[in-house]
Chains A and B, each alone.
Chain A
Amino acid sequence: DAGVTQSPTHLIKTRGQQVTLRCSPISGHKSVSWYQQVLGQGPQFIFQYYEKEERGRGNFPDRFSARQFPNYSSELNVNALLLGDSALYLCASSSTSGAEGGELFFGEGSRLTVL
């Protein structure tokens, strides 16, 4: 079975541009979470969606938004890109909405470089 797939794997943008990152969860998983991992740091939670509803939001500005589609895939959008948005963006899926029981399965990430 396919794992969590993310696209694109790498992309380069310039300041002020907008970017959309995509994530397909493992088949049957209804929860998708997004994390930002800046070089040399641990991942930081951005959003969680479960059954197409937002279940959690991290401490990120409104330039960051996400949505989940009926097939449970998800998009993360970042507007007005800043140099500091350069990072690895990780998507994770789970079969449950809470941490108990369900394991988070991570994709390999989308590496965004903002010039």
Chain B
Amino acid sequence: AQSVTQPDIHITVSEGASLELRCNYSYGATPYLFWYVQSPGQGLQLLLKYFSGDTLVQGIKGFEAEFKRSQSSFNLRKPSVHWSDAAEYFCAVAPAGAQKLVFGQGTRLTINP
């Protein structure tokens, strides 16, 4: 069965600092990979996705993620965070061709001024 692990439940960084959120997945083949963000009281918004090709993926709001097959990882990065980035971040996987997403438990990001 597919599974997604986000090892960090809560991360605090200072505004302007760099950010890396970790995501590891378990799946027999290369799945489709996603990062979503959820702000309080709002639905999930897609930051970026990886299906195939270039393993470094650019997303919205200055985020990027790198797929590393050997490590079964899809970590999310941002070079300089803004206070508005404070939110819950979810990594998700889907089997190729299917729309059933399996989410990790999420990482809550707090930004210190």
Contact = CB atoms under 8 A, between A and B. Distances in A.
Contacts of B95: 99
A20 to B, nearest CB: 20
Contacts of B43: 4, 90, 106-109
A16 interface: no
A31 interface: yes
A100 B30 CA distance: 13
B96 interface: yes
B44 A90 contact: yes
Interface in A6-60: 31, 33, 35, 40-45, 48, 55-56, 58
A96 B4 CA distance: 24
B32 A99 contact: yes
Contacts of A82: none
B42 A108 contact: yes
B97 A48 contact: no
A58 B46 contact: no
A99 to B, nearest CB: 4
Interface in A56-105: 56, 58, 90, 92, 94, 96-100, 102-104
Contacts of B100: 33, 45, 48, 56, 58
Most chain B CB neighbours (cut-off 10 Å) among A55, A90, A97, A99: A99
B103 interface: yes
B113 interface: no
Nearest to B51: A100
7 contacts: A42-B106, A90-B44, A96-B99, A98-B98, A99-B51, A103-B46, A106-B45
Interface of B: 4, 32, 36, 41-46, 49, 51, 90, 92, 94-106
Across the A-B interface, give the 4 residue pairs with the lowest CB-CB distance, nearest first.
Answer: A42-B103, A106-B43, A99-B94, A106-B44
